[in-house]
Amino acid sequence: MRKLVIGAGLALFIGACAGGAVPGLLMTAPAEVGASAPYIVAAVADPRRPEADTTRDALRHPAEILAFVGVQPGWRIADVGPGGGYYSRLFAVAVGDGGRLYAVDRPGTAERPRPMSAVAPTYTNITHLTDGYAGWSAGEPLDAIFISQIYHDFYLPQLNIDIATANRAMFNALKPGGVLVIIDHAAPDGSDISVTESLHRIDQAQVVRDLAAAGFVLDAESQVLRNPADNRSVRVFEGDIRGRTDQFVLRFRRPAN
């Protein structure tokens, strides 16, 4: 029976690559998590969260995003490109003392330390890694990898990241059945990676193709960060669109076998 389910899932994935998210069978995570789960509520209500974070909650929908990831107490999660720690703080509380959050960051300098260097010490279960976005290692199998609004940067020439190698490394970093969740600014459908450098956006189909090549299966898509008012033609930092871009939220899974 399990083989039939997996086979059906693969068929659905093939259909999704042709033009949409995976419907039905693969849309629901095996472990159902609601936005009202007590540990998610506690994460959003954490008093250590700065006002700069909480004022962004109305646009970022943190409880819904954590539920979509399927986070559970005790999980090991890598937050790749943590920035100022918006999601790292949330995940650190959600996974609890028995879990761990790896903040996968770029190296800083004495003059310009990375923001996470000040955030990590305030949570006993955050490990701040500063080896860059490629070639990092948590040293243990992960339940989830989370990348928000920065996966498109992997394609920028100045970072010199081999996309295929980086994607395969993330696949190998996950436990079988583990998830990779990517949030990013949507580029026009069918656009090539040239707009990634100019607009800091990426075509959702490009992401799906490249991660499928690494062995990932598209598991689900959330619409919670979609904004049809964004025509996807301007840089994400421009005027009123800043913080309000049309964003896709995709969950990929490393097959369990």
Strand order in the sheet with 247-253: 126-129, 100-104, 76-80, 142-148, 174-185, 247-253, 217-222
- Return d(Cα 81, Cα 29) in angstroms, integer: 24
- Within 8 A by CB and 6+ apart from 32, the residues are none
pLDDT, residue 147, reads 98
pLDDT score recorded for residue 58: 96
Could you tell me if residue 108 is inside a domain? Answer: yes
* Any domain includes 128: yes
Per the structure, how many domains does the chain have?
A: 1
For the whole model, what pTM was predicted? 0.87
Beta bridge partners of 183: 148, 249
Separation of alpha carbons 165 and 57, rounded Å: 34
Does residue 10 lie in a domain region?
A: no
Sort strands 100-104 and 126-129 into parallel, antiparallel or unpaired. parallel
Q: Is 156 left (phi over 0), alpha (psi -120 to 50) or beta?
A: beta
Question: Which pLDDT value is given to residue 8?
Answer: 40
* DSSP per-residue letters across 140-200: S-EEEEEEES-GGGGG-GGG---HHHHHHHHHHHEEEEEEEEEEEEBPPTT--THHHHHHS
Which residue from 90, 42, 97, 49 is spatially nearest to 73, judged by alpha carbons? 97
Q: What pLDDT digit, counting tens, does each position of 223-246 carry? A: 999 999 999 999 998 888 888 999
Q: Residue 7: inside a domain, yes or no? A: no
Residue 200 placed within a domain: yes
Three-class SS of 83-117? CCCHHHHHHHHHHCCCCEEEEECCCCCCCCCCCHH
Residue 5 in any domain: the answer is no
Range of the domain at 76: 31-253
Give residue for tokens 């100019």. Answer: 198
| CATH value at residue 147 | 3.40.50.150
| Residue 65 burial (10 A CB sphere; 0-12, 13-18, 19+) | buried
82 assigned to some structural domain: yes
The β-bridge partners of 208 are none
Query: Which pLDDT belongs to residue 31?
Result: 58
Residues of the chain with pLDDT under 50: 1-29
Whether the CA torsion 237, 240, 242, 246 is positive or negative: it is negative
182 pairs with which residues across the strands?
147, 250
Residue 24 maps to a domain: no
